[in-house]
Amino acid sequence: MKKTKAHKSVKAGTSGALGERKLIQLIQSHLSVMPDLPVPFGDDVSAVDLGKGRVAVLKTDMLMGKTDVPRGMSMWQAARKAVVMNVSDFAAKGVEPTALLVSLGLPRDIMRKEVEEIARGLNTGAREYGAYVIGGDTSEASDLVVAISLFGTAKRKELVLRSGARAGDIVAVTGFFGKTAAGLRLLLDGYAASKDLREVLLRSVCMPNARLCEGLSLCRSGALSASMDSSDGLAWSLHELARMSNVGFVVDCVPVADEVRRFAEFNGLDALELALHGGEEYELVVTVKPKRWADAEMAVKVAGGLLLPIGKATRDRQVILEVNGEKVPVEARGWEHFKSKI
């Protein structure tokens, strides 16, 4: 179980008032635990032992029209994104996706053309990452729902969990942050940007990519101690890795995308805030055994990607940003859902 998305206004006794993590803990507390579960609750994916060292890997996450599809995103893009957000979790564990099923909830008045766009978006997303859509179901719904179930198999010992980071490990990411957060502010809050900048930022919202090649290569290298994706924001991922691994992090460099610096400057926004507390950004956040750093770097390089060290895991269980000798705690804030802004 992963965290639910943030609520803005809440009533006492409701699930919103409970808070995200407690809601999930509450649900888990009522579930019987499968014996010999290869991946614990709370990691990016779930798994079932298949014997002989192999596991079936499963992931399900849904995209909702009202909360996950901002104005300006096409149905094709929304359906493709629904696939990407599930593939990203496989990428973080080093698992190749094989097949996916889709449960589609369709509003009664959705147009035939839009349904075709959704079908094509699902197929494109699946084929980009080597998977096939092999089945599903449709239901009538009051809002668009695209619930994806992703399936793959992996060697049990090659799965990289969230819980393996040790003090001294290097924490690293596969790209620069903040473009999606900036893009959403462009789309939803009326901020401004030059045409070129606008294109880059909106592309990051509407055409996200999962770091599958990087994730597969990194996990196979054996150099990682922990890994997860950054779909709920960089800060949230750091806190999750810290919590699940019983460590902390001192981050000495947040890789803010150039475009985000320019956008933030132009609009009087905080670029660091956009990079740390954004979300819907599908980079990997990994910890690397210090002696294996060169192997990890090479693994990402051969996959055609980047690996940027951003700090170190520590015994002290806090997540700290240390810039120019100044230490500031990084808040465990995930991305703010944009529903209330639509």
What letter represents residue 65's amino acid? G
Residue closer to a copy of itself, measured from CB, 169 or 281 = 281
Does position 314 bind a copy of itself by CB under 8 A? no
Q: Which of 118, 182, 206, 247 binds a copy of itself (CB under 8 A)?
A: 118
Question: Alpha carbon of 3 to those of 21, 50, 241: distances in Å?
Answer: 6, 27, 13
CB 235, CB 332: distance < 8 Å: yes
Does position 71 bind a copy of itself by CB under 8 A? no
CB of 36 to a copy of itself, least distance (A): 11
Output DSSP code: residue 339.
Answer: G
**What mask, x for binding a copy of itself by CB under 8 A, covers residues 13 to 52?**
xxxxxx----xx-xxxxxxxxx--x-x-x-x-xxxx-x--
Residue closer to a copy of itself, measured from CB, 104 or 307 = 104
As to burial, measured by CB atoms within 10 angstroms (0-12 exposed, 13-18 middle, 19+ buried), residue 291 is exposed
Does position 137 bind a copy of itself by CB under 8 A? yes
CA dihedral 146, 163, 97, 293 (to 10 degrees): 130
Q: Work out the angle between the directed axes of helices 195-206 and 258-267 (0-180°, nearest 10).
A: 120
Does position 5 bind a copy of itself by CB under 8 A? yes
Q: Which residues contact 300 (CB under 8 A, 6 or more apart)?
A: 174, 214, 217, 218, 306, 307
Does position 332 bind a copy of itself by CB under 8 A? no
Give the binding-site size for a copy of itself (rule: CB under 8 A): 87
Q: Which of 58, 188, 306, 332 binds a copy of itself (CB under 8 A)?
A: 58
Q: Which of 10, 253, 302, 323 binds a copy of itself (CB under 8 A)?
A: 10
CB of 325 to a copy of itself, least distance (A): 40
CB of 230 to a copy of itself, least distance (A): 16
